[in-house]
Homo-oligomer: A and B are copies of this chain.
């Protein structure tokens, strides 16, 4: 066993997982500018087929700010089942599960989503690990503010 390499890998997995947790916490605290700081300058976010893919840290912050101001009275993003793959050379990917609860400004019934985040991460020279890509996929939703979502990739039942 290469002890130092193994420990570095454990710390890297902890670091990118912490970014996912920071994203949830800052989003749920309605701090869109701080959420944006977790991303690389040229990061790409894809929340689903009903909304345009967001490109760039500034656009990410601005888009999230609109949703937080107009749509949500409260949100809670519970992530689990975090699986990180270190790809070497300062790159990593992860898949995690998301159970998200939303209370709406307009008084609609609380919306729930069961799904996944797919993340890609890059270690930057100046700020360490940052999120380079985020894609949201849904296994299912109830009373959710979006009708169509990227699917989680479940095989058809007949397969």
Contacts and interface: CB of A to CB of B under 8 A. Distances in A.
A115 B114 CA distance: 17
A136 to B, nearest CB: 14
Nearest to A81: B21
Integer count of this chain's copies in the complex: 3
Interface in A11-68: 11, 13-14, 18, 21-22, 24-25, 28-31, 68
Interface residues of A, number: 52
Given A3-B4, A115-B76, A139 B11 contact: no
Contacts of A31: 155
A10 B8 contact: no
B75 A139 contact: yes
Nearest to A72: B157
A25 B76 contact: no
A103 B112 CA distance: 13
Interface in A90-105: 95, 97, 99, 101, 103, 105
Please name the 3 residue pairs, one residue from A and one from B, whose CB atoms are nearest each other, closest first. Answer: A76-B114, A30-B155, A76-B139
Given A18-B83, A28-B139, 14 more contacts: A1-B8, A6-B7, A29-B154, A29-B155, A74-B140, A74-B154, A75-B139, A76-B99, A76-B140, A76-B152, A77-B97, A78-B81, A103-B140, A105-B157
16 contacts: A1-B7, A3-B4, A6-B11, A7-B7, A18-B83, A28-B139, A29-B153, A30-B155, A30-B157, A30-B159, A69-B158, A76-B115, A78-B80, A78-B81, A78-B114, A101-B140
